Amino acid sequence: MWTVIYIAPSAKMAEKIQDRLTAEGFLVKIRQASVSKHFEVLVPETELEEIQEILSSILQ
């Protein structure tokens, strides 16, 4: 099952996160949020804990 780990304000930011996580070997999907012009970054639930640690370093 896929879960949203971040809601990016732009496609560019979502793609940056996707590129970094993919480079670390993780599966990542991006989809446009249904209510706004934001983009959701999704990852498999099974990798959630590992990805959260990496995501925090990406966002700093």
Which domains are delineated in the chain?
A: 2-59 (3.30.70.1530)
Residue 34's pLDDT is what?
82
What does the radius of gyration of the chain's CA atoms come to, in whole angstroms? 11
- Average pLDDT for consecutive 10-residue bins of the chain (60 residues)? 95 96 96 90 94 90
Q: Which of 50, 27, 24, 29 is nearest to 40 (CA)?
A: 29
Residue 29: Cβ within 10 Å count: 13
Residue 60's pLDDT is what?
84
Residue 6's pLDDT is what?
95
